[in-house]
């Protein structure tokens, strides 16, 4: 869990991840997930059957690193070292959840 805030990750308008998150992102990107990963999610929060998170490494090139996104309905299909591979219910997209926020009480 990282709970990013803008003071931690913005330097002169450039997004810089805290070193722990950056290291986990590098590990996630190097791992063979067995599927084409469309994007990596940081500080993901589950909202029903969707996830809200900061996105990095968007394969389509349409999303800027650090943008907040909401995934289509998705499910966890694999977990490795505290990270999770998500697949959309449609089966069209895969995301890796690098870090996850705790569920609200």
Q: What is the pLDDT of residues 15-36, one digit of tens each?
A: 566 676 788 999 999 999 999 9
Q: Which tokens is 32 given?
A: 């063979």
Write the pLDDT tens digit of every residue in 46-77: 999 999 999 999 999 999 999 999 999 999 99
Please spell the DSSP secondary structure of 37-67, one letter per residue.
--EEEEEEEEETTEEEEEEES-TTS-S-TT-
Question: pLDDT band at 1, cuts 50/70/90?
Answer: very low
- For residues 51 and 86, the answer to whether their CB atoms sit within 8 Å is yes
pTM (2 decimals)? 0.81
Sheet holding 68-70, edge to edge: 68-70, 50-56, 39-47, 94-97, 83-88, 74-80
Number of residues in the chain? 105
């Amino acid at each position: 869990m990282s709970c990013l805030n803008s003071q931690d990750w913005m330097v002169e308008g450039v997004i810089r991840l805290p070193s722990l998150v950056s290291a986990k992102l590098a590990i996630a990107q190097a791992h063979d997930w067995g599927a084409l990963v469309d994007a990596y999610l940081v500080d993901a929060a589950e909202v029903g059957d969707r996830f809200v998170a900061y996105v990095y490494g968007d394969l389509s090139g349409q999303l800027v690193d650090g943008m907040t996104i909401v995934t289509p309905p998705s499910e966890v299909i694999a977990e490795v070292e505290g990270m999770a591979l998500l697949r959309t219910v449609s089966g069209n997209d895969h995301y890796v959840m690098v870090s996850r926020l705790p569920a609200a009480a």
